[in-house]
Structure 1
Amino acid sequence: MNSEFYQNPILCADYSDPDIVRVGNDFFMVSSSFNHMPGLPVLHSTDLVHWQIINHAIPALNLPGYEYVQPGKGVWAPSLRVHDDRFWIFFSTPDEGIFMCHTADPWGEWSEPHCVVEAKGWIDPCPLWDDDGRAWLVHAFAQSRSGIKHQLQLFEMTPDGRSLLGEGKIIYDGTCDLPTLEGPKLYKRQGYYYIFAPAGGVESGWQSVLRARTMAGPWEVKNVLFQGQTAINGPHQGGWVELDNGECWFVHFQDAHLYGRVVHLQPMWWGDDGWPRIGEQRDDSGTGQPVLRWRRPAVGAEHYATCQPQTSDEFASGKYGLQWQWQARPRADWLVESASGLSLRCTPLPVRYGDGVLYGAAHLLLQKFPALRFSAMTRLSLQAEQDGDAGGLIIYGERYAALTLEKREDACWLVYLYGWMTDAGHVLQTRQPLEPLRASTCALRVEVKEGGICHFAWRENDEGEWRTVNRPFAAGKGKWVGAKVGLFAAAPGVNAGGVCRFSHFNVAD
């Protein structure tokens, strides 16, 4: 492809609800992390097209209950801002309230999340520090917790961002014209206050913009980005930045089903009427549709990058990279110290859904699907202490499958298992023993093809030809997230067992 142009999506991975800021020649992005920890991934770019993970703002979510898997809960729709020489993230957890953390160095340590307000169903917060020194916060509602939907509420906030002032005011009710109004991002430009907010729902919605001369309103609305004649469904919910040369850019997500919410970059500019124009303009109405290919942002060739979010991992010094997340608040005893390779302790599985069921296990170490098609391969050595100690390679969502190496009596067996969450909330899991191995070491591979069809394979001692499991698996998304790929080590009963050592994890197109 001509280097003067970029292709959407810029991140073909599940970075849901993105928000961005610019600081000089650097761009920073955050996204939702839900129940996965460490949480609140922080990404960095120098050209708005290529991104890498540089940090997580919260190593663990220290709230009651998050030592267990809480599908779909956790960190929702963060906002990222720079104020007073600090980076600020405001985020919500749907059952607990609105939180804030900050740092002077996005690569460094972030402050412990502070609860700005305890409230059920107050979601998607965004702050604004005004020119007069006053501070504001706007948020949306989750009907499942609050009983309220389609509305935005505004508060004045203390300048330190730690608490809200007075009573909130509903500044817009979108029940009639903006159903599922949520995800507000608050800005000020040339005497107007703007709220960029998605409406219409995740899978088929659009991007709306509200504006007013004062925070008190009245707020007028313009719908600025629809799917139009493109294949990019529901293009909405994100943030915009402006370059020194006046160029403006808008990032948003697209719901890609089992792949999660992938990130697109749209050209943006301001019309003479003071409304933003986003994407390719369809007519003179100021309504746009997403672009698939466009000229790159004019950041200067010296700032062009070729990086992508991390995927492969050699597990140097026995550590895992920033791309990995656990299913819940991690425990130190899930890992065993090692000089090289990743050593996971065989940890008992929860019994909520039945013995030996992987769904709901907190100690799965997972990362996002990095592309529509890819392969992942690892080499596993099982050092078992008891029958039933096992580990392997897993594709995880509300449908999941794993190719495992398991100690059974005097042999190590390859076992293929798959399971799924039923509409009634039950988990069904099927186990298929494949064959015993002569050794306790083997290579495991999964090839993810079009439509998320997964083909598992193995070779003993990482030698010889790959042997494929005869039944492929159709991956499925999780609760508000895309499917994930990763590693695990499990033990039967209630006592921890042996160790699974993974020497590497290689991802290829």
Structure 2
Amino acid sequence: MTHYSNPVLDADWPDPDAVRVGDDYWLIASSFNRAPGLPVLHSRDLVSWEHVANALPAVPPAGHYALPRHGSGVWAPSLRHHDGLFWIVYPDPDHGIFVLTAADPRGPWSEPWCLLPGQGLIDPCPLWADDGRAYLVHGWAKSRAGVKNRLTVVEVDPALRRAVGPARTVVDGDELPGFRTLEGPKLYQRDGWYWIFAPAGGVATGWQTAFRSRSVWGPYEHRVVLEQGDTPVNGPHQGAWVDTPDGHDWFLHFQDRGVFGRVVHLQPVRWDDDGWPVLGDEGRPVLAHPTPVPGAEPGEPVRSDDFSAPGLAPRWHWQANPVDGWAVADGAGTLRLPAQPSARGNLRDQGAVLCQQLPGQPSTWETRVALSGDAPGTRAGVAVLGREYAWAGLLRTPVGVEVTVRRGGTYGDEEILAQEPVPGGATSVVLRTAVDAEGAVTWSWRPDPPAEGDGAAAAEWHEAAAPWQARVGHWIGAEVGLFSSAPLGADLRPDDGGTFGPVRVAVAGKDA
């Protein structure tokens, strides 16, 4: 009997929702300001996942998200299959609730349309009910709407184009002892009951609640069905109830791990004699369990990239809606990022930072970085990006090219942590970014090609600076990114910028 260990997705896949159609499971997650957004993952066994697509090439409104809008954009989405189509319903807390559809989750997806305009409407989930009607449940963001801790249901037309009735609060968390930040609802039907699975208590400290009623409008009774207890799994909540073809039930949910983001766990589900779900081990998260499909081998999405196929793989995303020309990926084994003008030289301002999530276990990222261009201040490198960031790479100065490590935040100039000339006037190095179990980052480099000399000594790695502690992002974990930029007004040629060789990633000693 094979077992899996939690988390099954040990990286930042926030607010997951999932459905099963036939023998296939599909999972989506929040993507916030990142583009392309709405990542789509596929599995046949719930423990081995592949990142196959992104449903949202750019975040609407396109002009608004032409700049990084950290913490805005796509919040907790829902995924459903109805009438031969896959439906994603997602909230933008500043603009409303949007819908897009596809016949195949791998795409193409439709252009999104706005179902409910407004600020502060979050975490929507539709239900096409047995009575032939369609309903939508959602939560509220106090930062935009002035209220939170309540769940609202509204009847909508079956095409999810408009509301057809008034919205009603069906659960008011302020009336439930101890409840705070009730959000993330998912609406289901089972055995004559309407069910709302919803977390409360906060992202890092909360729990999962199940509500049920004979009417979609309530009144709802509730039970806490998953909480940390004596386990190390803090805040186990918000996710998806799915079943298997042989009739077993499972629950996918997240755990907030700070700089590593919201990682995804899988819990078995049984139903007690009173018809309530019992998640995990009698309401506590399991750390390991037999796999849903006997013999299944757990596995996570690939992170390494040899750039041998034209275009960018789904694993990559930008910090804002991309512009043609930000990347040149022709399938020849390298990725070229033309230098983008940057007014402040601050990477939190730069949309053209090409990122992946930071894995939840120690990882190393290795790539060759080459810099072209004579304009002083032109630079290219590898960043670890959160509310604060640091990067290592190559910088063009008036006297040559130097290896540098710098850190920055939302405000102020970058601080130089290390800087030294590249030997022999070279314009390329091999750069290694190592992240430990606490999120401390160490950069090291070696000449490319190695300097003349004896074997290992010629290819020796040089530690570029003391370890730097990565920081969380806005609602997300830290990210690893590639970038190239130059001062605003620099005299740039089309070929100026950074060229990156294959990116090789190893996570906890395994190839990734």
Q: Provide Cα deviations, 1:142-198, integer angstroms capped at 9, x if missing partner.
A: 000001111111010101111111210011100142211100000000100000000
**Shift in Å, 1:62:** 2.8
DSSP 3-state at the match of 1:254:
strand
Q: Provide Cα deviations, 1:394-447, integer angstroms capped at 9, x if missing partner.
A: 1111121111201112411111101234xxxx3452024521112111111111
**Shift in Å, 1:455:** 0.7
Contact 1:14 1:482 in 2 (8 A): yes
DSSP 3-state at the match of 1:244:
coil
1:342 aligns with 2:335: yes
1:147 aligns with 2:143: no
Contact 2:8 2:300 in 1 (8 A): no
Contact 2:312 2:329 in 1 (8 A): no
**Shift in Å, 1:4:** 1.5
Which residue does the alignment assign to 1:277?
278
Which residue does the alignment assign to 1:453?
440
Which residue does the alignment assign to 1:441?
428
Which residue does the alignment assign to 1:483?
478
DSSP 3-state at the match of 1:431:
strand
Amino acid at match of 2:164: L
- Identical aligned residues as a percent: 44
**Shift in Å, 1:313:** 0.4
**Shift in Å, 1:335:** 1.9
Amino acid at match of 1:78: P
DSSP 3-state at the match of 2:238:
strand
Counterparts of residues 94-493 of structure 1 (less than 5 Å): 94-177=93-176, 178-281=179-282, 288-297=283-292, 299-301=293-295, 304-336=296-328, 338=330, 339-349=332-342, 351=343, 355-421=344-410, 426-437=411-422, 438-463=425-450, 464-493=459-488
Q: Provide Cα deviations, 1:79-101, integer angstroms capped at 9, x if missing partner.
A: 00000011000000010000000
**Shift in Å, 1:310:** 2.0
CA distance in 2, matches of 1:403, 1:337: 22
How many residue pairs align between the two structures?
490
CA distance in 2, matches of 1:129, 1:485: 40
Contact 1:95 1:121 in 2 (8 A): yes
**Shift in Å, 1:50:** 1.1
CA distance in 1, matches of 2:191, 2:415: 61
Q: CA 1:427–1:40 in structure 2 vs 1: closer, same or farther (change >3 Å)?
A: farther
CA distance in 2, matches of 1:453, 1:462: 28
Contact 1:157 1:163 in 2 (8 A): yes
Contact 1:8 1:292 in 2 (8 A): yes
Contact 1:320 1:342 in 2 (8 A): no
Q: Which moved more, 1:433-442 or 1:189-198?
A: 433-442
CA distance in 1, matches of 2:152, 2:13: 26
Q: Provide Cα deviations, 1:470-494, integer angstroms capped at 9, x if missing partner.
A: 3111001100000001210011123
CA distance in 2, matches of 1:337, 1:470: 31
**Shift in Å, 1:132:** 2.5
Q: Which moved more, 1:318-327 or 1:62-71?
A: 318-327
Which residue does the alignment assign to 1:284?
none
Which residue does the alignment assign to 1:285?
none
Q: Provide Cα deviations, 1:71-125, integer angstroms capped at 9, x if missing partner.
A: 1000000000000011000000010000000100111200001100111000000
Which residue does the alignment assign to 2:455?
none
Q: CA 1:213–1:487 in structure 2 vs 1: closer, same or farther (change >3 Å)?
A: same
CA distance in 2, matches of 1:396, 1:126: 31
Counterparts of residues 61-100 of structure 1 (less than 5 Å): 61-63=59-61, 64-100=63-99
DSSP 3-state at the match of 1:123:
strand
Normalising by the residue count of structure 1, what TM-score does the alignment of the two structures yield? 0.94
Contact 1:249 1:265 in 2 (8 A): yes
Which residue does the alignment assign to 2:510?
none
Amino acid at match of 1:230: T
Contact 1:310 1:322 in 2 (8 A): no
CA distance in 2, matches of 1:462, 1:280: 54
Amino acid at match of 2:206: G
Normalising by the residue count of structure 2, what TM-score does the alignment of the two structures yield? 0.93
CA distance in 2, matches of 1:318, 1:247: 41
CA distance in 2, matches of 1:428, 1:165: 52
Q: CA 1:386–1:380 in structure 2 vs 1: closer, same or farther (change >3 Å)?
A: same
Q: CA 1:317–1:293 in structure 2 vs 1: closer, same or farther (change >3 Å)?
A: closer
Contact 2:138 2:153 in 1 (8 A): yes
DSSP 3-state at the match of 1:43:
strand
CA distance in 2, matches of 1:345, 1:53: 27
Contact 2:88 2:99 in 1 (8 A): yes
Which residue does the alignment assign to 1:20?
18
CA distance in 1, matches of 2:501, 2:465: 26
Contact 2:31 2:38 in 1 (8 A): yes
Q: CA 1:206–1:433 in structure 2 vs 1: closer, same or farther (change >3 Å)?
A: closer
Amino acid at match of 2:506: A
Tell me which stretches of 4 or more aligned residues in structure 1 moved more than 6 Å.
Answer: none
Amino acid at match of 1:259: F
CA distance in 2, matches of 1:462, 1:263: 41
DSSP 3-state at the match of 2:381:
strand
Amino acid at match of 2:434: E
